[in-house]
Amino acid sequence: MKVLKLVYESLVFAYKALVINKVRALLSLLGITIGIFSIISVFTVFDSLQSNIKSEINSLGSNVLFIQKWPWVMGRKIAWWKYFQRPQPTLQEMKEILKRSSTVADATFMYAVQRNVYNGDNYMEDVTIMAVSYDYNKVMPFDLQEGRYFTQGECLGGRNLAIIGADIAKNIFPHSDPVGQQIKIFGRKLDVIGVIKKKGEDIFGNSSDDRVIVPVMFANSLVNPKNINCSIIVISKPYVSVEAMKEELTGIMRSIRKLKPRADNNFTINQTDIINKGFDSLFRIIALVSWIIGGFSLLVGGFGIANIMFVSVKERTNQIGIQKSLGAKKYFILLQFLFEAVFLSIAGGLVGLLIVFLLSYGASSLLGFKLILSLKNIVVGIGVSAFIGIVSGFIPAWSASRLDPVEAIRSNF
C-alpha cells in the first residue's frame, strides 16, 4: 500500500509540475521528446528497411548458392586485380556439377545483357535480357500472368522464344495480347510465349516487370558469354545444409578447373548470407550515429528534468520537513521525488513515441512503404526515458531526502 501511495503522490506532483509551470516543464521535456523521437524514428525506419531487405534477400532462397567470377562485397574494398583474370563460369561446368554433385537438386546457368526491344513502332530501350538454361524457373521461381515456360527441347535447341515482363507487355503491346506475337531483339524476331506476373520493384529497385527471358542457347548464338558476367545458380536437396553443398561445390569446381592443391580458387561461391551480414553492419553503424545524435537531445532534456526537480524540492521544502517530522523515512522522500522525475521523463518520451507513430502511419499511407512502430522500439523508448528520469532526478531526490526536518519546516521559500 505504501508503494501505491508513493506512486500516486508522485503522479500528482508530476501533474502539478506540468500544470503550474507549463512553459518551463514543456521546454524541459522538449529535449526528452526530441531525443526519443530521433532515436526511435531512426530505429523504426531501419527495422522496416531491414525487414524488407531481408525479405527480398530471403526470396532468393536460403538454400541457394551463386558460382561466379566476382565475390559479393558490402562496404569493403577488394583487390580487383586478383579477380580480373578469372574465367567466367560456363554452361559446361554447370552440366559437370549436376553429374558429380550429391547435394545439388537443380542448377541453372544465366547471364544478362542490355538491349532494345521492338514491336513495330513500339519499343523500349536498355531492357535487361536474361539468357537462362532450362531449370531457371526451378532455382529462381517466378509466376506467369499468362502463357507458359520453355520446354527442355526448346531450351536445348536454342529456339527464338521469349518470356516478357508485365511492363514490357503493356508498353510494347498496349492494345493486344502479347502471347503468340513477336518482338525483335538482337536484330532477330522472337515469339512471345509467356508474360511474367507483375510484381513491382523490390527494395533494391530491381523488378522482373521490365525484363525479357530467353533460352541461353539462343543468346549464345548472338553474344559471347565469355565477355559477360555469368552465374551458375544451384539449389540444395532437402535436408542438405548450404555449408555442406558449398564445401562439395568447391571441390567439384577445383576438380573441373584442374587446380593444383595449393592454388587459390579462381571462382567465388556467393550466398545471400553475405548480403545480410553487410546490411547488419551498415545498420549497426547508423544506429550508433542515431544514438549519438539523439543522445545530445536526451542530455539537454536530462538537465531540464534535473532543473525542474531542484525547483520542486525548493518549493516543497516545508512539506518535506513536515513529512519527515511525522516519521517519513529518507527512502520515502527519495523515491517520491525520483518517481516524479521518472514520470515527467516518461511523459516527454511518450510524446516522442506518439509523434513517431503518427509519422509512421502517415508515411505508410502516402509512400506505400510499410513503417511499423514495433513493441521493441516502444519498450526501448519508455526504458530510455525512465533511465534519463532516474539519472536526472537522483541528485535532487537525494538532496531532498537529506534535508533536516527542523530546518526544512523553518524554510520560507
Residue 371 covered by a domain: yes
Would you state the pLDDT for residue 301?
A: 72
Residue 106 covered by a domain: yes
Q: How far apart are CA 87 and CA 266, in angstroms?
A: 7
> What are phi and psi for residue 131, nearest 5 degrees?
-95, 120
Residue 64 covered by a domain: no
**All three cell numbers of 190:** 522472337
Residue 397 covered by a domain: yes
pLDDT tens, residue by residue, 84-103: 888 899 999 999 999 999 99
pLDDT in tens, the chain (413 residues): 666 666 666 666 656 655 666 666 666 677 777 777 777 777 777 777 766 666 665 555 568 889 988 887 755 566 667 778 888 999 999 999 999 999 998 999 999 998 998 888 888 888 889 999 998 988 888 889 899 999 999 998 889 999 998 888 888 888 888 898 999 998 889 999 999 888 766 555 566 778 899 999 999 888 887 778 899 999 888 888 888 999 999 999 999 999 888 888 888 888 876 666 666 676 777 777 777 776 776 777 777 777 777 777 777 767 766 766 766 677 677 777 777 778 878 888 888 888 888 887 777 666 656 777 778 888 888 888 888 888 888 888 788 777 776 666 666 54
Residue from 162, 204, 158 nearest 56 by CA: 204
Q: Residue with C-alpha cell 561461391?
A: 269
14 and 118 inside one domain:
no
290 and 367 inside one domain:
yes
| Sign of the torsion angle spanned by Cα atoms 19, 20, 23, 26 | negative
Residue from 138, 139, 128, 321 nearest 206 by CA: 128
224 and 289 inside one domain:
no
Residue ending a domain, choose from 266, 287, 307: 266
95 and 199 inside one domain:
yes
120 and 15 inside one domain:
no
Residue 372 covered by a domain: yes
Residue 272 covered by a domain: no
Would you state the pLDDT for residue 226?
A: 79
- Evaluate whether 308 touches 344 at the Cβ level (below 8 Å): yes
Q: Are strands 230-236 and 64-68 parallel, antiparallel or unpaired?
A: antiparallel
Residue 237 covered by a domain: yes
In sequence order, which residues have a C-beta less than 8 Å from that of residue 84 and are 6 or more positions away?
A: none
262 and 295 inside one domain:
no
Question: Kind and range of the H or E element at 350?
Answer: helix 330-367
212 and 131 inside one domain:
yes
114 and 222 inside one domain:
yes
Residue 76 covered by a domain: no
**3-state secondary structure at position 238:** coil
Residue ending a domain, choose from 235, 266, 297: 266
**3-state secondary structure at position 82:** helix
Residue ending a domain, choose from 233, 266, 299: 266
Q: How far apart are CA 217 and CA 134, in angstroms?
A: 10
Tally of domains within the chain: 2
Expressed as residue numbers, the domain containing 289 is 2-56+277-410
Would you state the pLDDT for residue 330?
A: 73
pLDDT tens, residue by residue, 170-185: 888 888 888 989 999 9
324 and 211 inside one domain:
no
- Evaluate whether 413 touches 315 at the Cβ level (below 8 Å): yes
The CA–CA distances, whole Å, from 278 to 281, 290, 295, 336 equal 5, 19, 26, 48
Its pTM stands at 0.64
Question: Kind and range of the H or E element at 314?
Answer: helix 272-315
207 and 239 inside one domain:
yes
256 and 339 inside one domain:
no
194 and 342 inside one domain:
no
